[in-house]
Amino acid sequence: MLFGKYLNKYYLKNIVYFIIGVVALVMVDYVQLYLPEFLGGLVDLFDGSSIVGHEDEMLELIKNTLIVAALLFVGRSTWRLTVFRAENNIEESLRNDMFMKAERLSQRYYHENKVGTVLNWFSDDVSEVREFIGWGTVMIVDAIFLTVLAFYKMIMLNWFLTLIAALPLVLIAIWGFFVEKIEAKMWKLRQEANDKIYEFANEGFTGLRVIKAFVKENQQILAFSKIAKNSQETSIKFQRVVVLFGAMIEIIIAIILCLIIGFGSWIVYLAVKGEPLNIWGTEISFTAGNLITFVGYFDTLIWPMIALGQIFSMRSRAKASYKRISKFLDEEEEVKSPENAIKLKDVKGDIEFRDFNFQYEGASRESLKGINVSIKAGESIGIVGKIGSGKSTLVNILLRLSNYKENSVFVDGIDLMKCDIDSLRENVAIVPQDNFLFSDEIENNIAFSTEEKDLDLIKKSAVFSCVDEDIADFKDQYKTVSGERGVTLSGGQKQRISIARAFYKKSPILILDDSVSAVDTRTEETILSNIREYRKGKTTILVSSRISTVSTLDRIIVLKDGEVEAFDTHENLLKSSPTYKKMVYLQELEKEIEG
């Protein structure tokens, strides 16, 4: 079996299934060895004389054969139900661990590792591990117990022929030892080639609209064919080794079987002549029934010998895949709650930045520097600035998506670096720029933050974001499935459903990151009016590139090159902030040109 710290605990949880399955396997291995004896006994009944007088013996053999067949049916059904149940349980648990790990990893990890590669770990690699846990267990048990039991029976019957039959096991073990190392390396290369297929396909499906818009279908097909060709060649090289190994095993077994039948027939012939073979002072005599029984034992051994070869191949693949999975699960979680973390309770919504600086890993300069801002609970705050000035970075800091210096960001006077992350995020609702929607019903997208849906609150949230009339026009209304990433909806509809989802959460802190850019001016004014009405006493932060969006808010932060140029009301900023005045002038000029 395959052992490791991420698997051992699940072996213990499923130990009962494994015990029952192994016991059933051993019982099957033991019972099926009676069949060659019955067949040999039946042959000896036809020793050239009439069957008359042996009817009772023949009926006894037939009855015993039926009993063995029934036991084999029960035993094989039992081990399949138990071993494969355990295998599926472990696969499910391992995938759950990986998914939970994927959720806890930082954004940096997904910048450095493509999603397609991670998906391959979840699919192909986990499947390889699962297959070896199930079939590997079966093969190992059969290879051990069936081999030992069969060899014991064969030695008792004819020790000399048993020596000949033992040759393939030695050759297969030696051959398999070397092949396993080769297969492990080639399997790793094959999986890395598959990673590229997953990566390319993921990007292609995500950017399908762009590909069609620029008429690049043929170019993408050509690029994909090159990647697929490389994967195909790598897989063929791997399969050649597997097939060669399997063919060698089959050839070895066939040669040994020919030797056993040929040499055994000669022993039977000598015994019939009354001149039994004498080897090293030991007389070896064989009847035709003995030879049939011996060949039956060896035939029983063929499966364990083939299984022994397959074990080496499967183990090499599973081991390589498990290493990839372990590396993923061993990845350090950069963003996590500290020991003795403070859980936020009854959050009012006070937010403070004290001499805050932030730089993305690998960036040449700081995205935010010297930020000193104090937001009072219940205020509605706007954030404006040029593209790249750090607006989204500033609000994302409140979700603890990255690590930063302690004693620099506070909510209700508590340092966020000392807070429990889950309790922090429960008290913050955000509408991100990409307005991501799940391929689910609209009502489920709106009520995403809770397990139980409140239909009245869902409709109230839709009214808040001015999307209720659009939903009413849909055939299935709130039961309408939005499609993958909300593909069936317009940009404005996706934005407003995202706003409804954030409002539904009823968090004391609400962040809208450029979330009304795709709606018309009238709808924007209605949403802003609803924010003033429904969000009284709660902190709301609205990031926007349009001055009209933030002009009616309590105060506005003006960012320039990652620094706070000014933080004041709209009227005061028109006097004190050059950046703000320029933005107002340019947007008014733009309106005049358009109108």
Most confident of 34-38, 270-274, 356-360, 363-367: 356-360
User: How far apart (Å, rounded) are the C-alpha atoms in residues 594 and 114?
Assistant: 42
What's the pLDDT score for residue 111?
74
Contacts 24+ apart (CB under 8 A), 171-176: 171/252, 172/249, 172/252, 172/305, 172/308, 172/309, 173/308, 175/245, 175/248, 175/249, 175/309, 176/245, 176/308, 176/309, 176/311, 176/312
**Among 158, 172, 191, CA closest to 294:** 158
The mean predicted confidence, pLDDT, of the chain is 81
DSSP structure string for 145-156: IIHHHHHHHHHH
Q: Which of 178, 133, 109, 186 is nearest to 8 (CA)?
A: 133
Q: CA 492, 379, 430: angle at the middle one, nearest 5?
A: 40
Mind spelling out the 3-state secondary structure of 192-244?
A: HHHHHHHHHHHHHHHCHHHHHHCCCHHHHHHHHHHHHHHHHHHHHHHHHHHHH
**Among 29-33, 249-253, 338-342, 366-370, which stretch is predicted with the lowest mean pLDDT?**
249-253
pLDDT-based confidence at residue 53 (cuts at 50, 70, 90)? low
pLDDT above 70: residue 54: no
Q: How confident is the model at residue 82 (pLDDT cuts 50, 70, 90)?
A: very high
Binning pLDDT at 50, 70 and 90, where does residue 461 land? confident
Distance between CA atoms of residues 193 and 46, nearest Å? 61
Confidence at residue 487, expressed as pLDDT on a 0 to 100 scale: 64
**pLDDT value at residue 595:** 57
How is residue 324 written in tokens? 């990839």
**Average pLDDT estimate for 49-78:** 79
Domains of the chain: 8-329 (1.20.1560.10), 344-427+509-595 (3.40.50.300), 434-506 (3.40.50.300)
Query: What pairing do the DSSP bridges indicate for beta strands 409-411 and 351-358?
Result: antiparallel
Q: What is the reported pLDDT for 524?
A: 79
Mention every residue, 6+ apart, whose C-beta is less than 8 A from residue 18. Answer: 11, 82, 83, 86, 137
Q: Would you state the structure tokens that stand for residue 422, as one six-digit string?
A: 């889950």
pLDDT of residue 248: 78
**Mean pLDDT, residues 107-134 taken together:** 80
Encode 413-462 in three state secondary structure.
CEEHHHECHHHHHHCEEEECCCCCCCCCEHHHHHCCCCCCCCHHHHHHHH
Give every strand in the sheet of 368-375, ordered side by side.
Answer: 368-375, 351-358, 409-411, 414-415
Residue 314 β-bridge partners: none
Query: What pLDDT is stored for residue 538 in this prediction?
Result: 87
Q: Is the pLDDT of residue 100 over 90?
A: no
Looking at this protein, which amino acid is placed at residue 218? Answer: N
The token pair that represents 404 in the structure block: 């930063």
What's the rounded Cα separation, in Å, for the pair 176 and 184?
12
Sign of CA dihedral 562, 568, 570, 571: negative
Give the pair of three-digit tokens for residue 133.
């846990």
| Confidence category of residue 176, pLDDT binned at 50, 70, 90 | low
Q: How far apart are the C-alpha atoms of 21 and 35, rounded to whole Å?
A: 22
Query: What are the phi and psi torsion angles at 111 (to 5°)?
Result: -75, -30
- Return the minimum-mean-pLDDT range out of 236-240, 281-285, 460-464, 520-524: 281-285
With DSSP H G I counted as helix, E B as strand and the rest as coil, what are the percentages for the chain, rounded to 5?
Answer: 65, 10, 25
Strand 380-385, strand 539-543: pairing: parallel
- Tell me the residue type at 494: K
Decide if 293 contacts 157 (C-beta within 8 A). Answer: yes
pLDDT exceeds cutoff 80 at 363: no
Number of H helices, E strands in the chain: 23, 12
Instruction: Name the most confidently modeled range: 34-48, 50-64, 100-114, 279-293.
Output: 100-114
**Residue among 527, 509, 505 at smallest CA distance from 454:** 505
Above 80 in pLDDT, residue 535? Answer: yes
- Spell out the residues 6+ positions from residue 79 whose beta carbon is closer than 8 angstroms to its own: 20, 21, 22, 24, 25, 28, 138
pLDDT digits (tens, 9 = 90+) for 383-434: 888 887 888 888 888 888 888 888 888 888 888 888 888 888 888 888 888 7
| Cα angle 337, 340, 345; round to 5 | 80
Q: Token pair 């960001």 is at which residue?
A: 409
Report the half-sphere exposure of 416 (CA within 13 A, side-chain side): 29
Rounded to whole angstroms, the Cα distance separating 39 from 384 reads 89
Q: What is the pLDDT of residue 488?
A: 65
- Nearest-Å Rg of the Cα atoms of the chain is 36
Query: What are the tokens at 153?
Result: 């029976």
Q: Rounded to whole angstroms, how far apart are CA atoms 329 and 323?
A: 10
Mean pLDDT of 440-469: 84
Q: Three-state SS across 319-349? A: HHHHHHHHHHHCCCCCCCCCCCCECCCCCCC
- pLDDT value of residue 441: 83
Round to whole Å and give the CA distance between 157 and 268.
13
Q: What is the mean pLDDT of residues 3-29?
A: 87
Q: What pLDDT does 177 receive? A: 67
Burial of 451 (0-12, 13-18, 19+ CB in 10 A): exposed
Query: What's the average model confidence in pLDDT over 119-148?
Result: 83
Predicted structure pTM score: 0.70
Short-list 172, 69, 188, CA closest to 128: 188
Q: Which residue type does 480 have?
A: T
pLDDT band (50, 70, 90) for residue 566: confident
Phi, psi of 290 (to 5 degrees): -60, -40
State the average pLDDT over residues 287-311. Answer: 76
- Does residue 55 surpass a pLDDT of 90? no
DSSP state of 407: S
Residue 92 has pLDDT above 70, yes or no: yes
Does residue 37 register a pLDDT over 90? no
